Amino acid sequence: MTNWSDLGPRVGSAVVMTAVGGVAVYLGGFWFNLLVAVSVWAMTWELLSMFNLYSGRDRVMVAGLSFVIVLLAFFGGVAVWLALGLIAALAIAQVLGRLPMGTSLFSLLFVPTLVGAGLLMFRANEGVDFILWMLLVVIASDVMGYFAGKTFGGPKFWPSISPKKTWSGTIAGWVGAAFVGLGFVIWNDAPMSLIIISILTSFAGQMGDIAESALKRKTGIKDSSNLIPGHGGVLDRFDAVSGAVLFLLALSLVMQVSV
């Protein structure tokens, strides 16, 4: 029998997150930048917690590096600020003497910071429509995957890493993403290629989810934190967004994505 006990908290939290995120995306500027920076700080803090690196004030301060770097990236060249920030992070790690130079801290700070900087860049350069499309692709993929996986079940997508993820849910996520792309083609006059890009973005988001599942399995935890009822932590909610952003950043190097 299908267990829907987590549906209520998931929906309630999703409504709040959608409202807060929607307002921040629409307003842009300071409020969007602040939301992204706080989210990146939370993701970094959760990663440090997962790997039991630092504690108390040290963990808050080290995670705060990602917060500062993301905000600075908005005011200057992203690449410059990322480089300076990461060098500073590695220097602090060496001074504190708690991590080998250039290893764990670099890895844990780099991905959330790059994702945050990517979101700021897309909002500033591509506008509200781009952010809205990307988030809708991730949300549609997640919602369709959740309900299809719960309803139909079937063969597991990657059982050794994510035992709950099924092929039915994965494919349903692609279908949901395709419909989002089609919606933008019809109502926003986007090119037909956006449908294919939407499916690829959905897959990238699913791989972000798989990557986080692998980290949690490695560290022996169920959720990155318990901050968001029904969803776990910020990293649990931003894993798919992170995968999508990283894919679109790579894609933007070779082509323009028009929505």
Of 194, 208, 184, nearest in space to 118 by CA = 208
Lookup: tokens for 182: 């089609």
Output the pLDDT for position 130. 97
Mean pLDDT value across residues 187-210: 96
Q: Which residues make Cβ contacts (< 8 Å) with residue 244, sequence separation at least 6?
A: 134, 137, 138, 201, 202, 204, 205, 208
Output the pLDDT for position 93. 57
| Residue 223 confidence (pLDDT) above 70 | yes
What is the overall mean pLDDT for the chain?
Answer: 83
- Beta carbons of 27 and 36 less than 8 angstroms apart: no
Output the pLDDT for position 117. 86
Distance between CA atoms of 172 and 65, rounded to whole angstroms?
38
Output the pLDDT for position 65. 78
Instruction: DSSP letter for 17, please.
Output: H
Lookup: tokens for 191: 């090119």
17-61 pLDDT, tens digit each: 888 998 999 998 889 999 999 999 999 888 888 888 777 787 888
Output the pLDDT for position 102. 43
| Residue 101 confidence (pLDDT) above 50 | no
Output the pLDDT for position 11. 75
Question: Which carries the bigger pLDDT value, residue 161 or residue 81?
Answer: 161
Distance between CA atoms of 25 and 35, rounded to whole angstroms?
9
Distance between CA atoms of 206 and 245, rounded to whole angstroms?
12
Quick one: which H or E segment has residue 137?
Answer: helix 128-152
Output the pLDDT for position 215. 83
Lookup: tokens for 7: 């549906």
Distance between CA atoms of 52 and 62, rounded to whole angstroms?
13
Specify which of 74-83, 89-98, 143-152 reaches the highest per-range mean pLDDT.
Answer: 143-152
4-19 pLDDT, tens digit each: 556 666 677 778 888 8
Output the pLDDT for position 214. 85
| Residue 193 confidence (pLDDT) above 50 | yes
Question: Which carries the bigger pLDDT value, residue 163 or residue 156?
Answer: 156
Distance between CA atoms of 136 and 120, rounded to whole angstroms?
17
103-152 pLDDT, tens digit each: 455 566 778 888 998 899 899 889 999 999 999 999 999 999 988 988 88
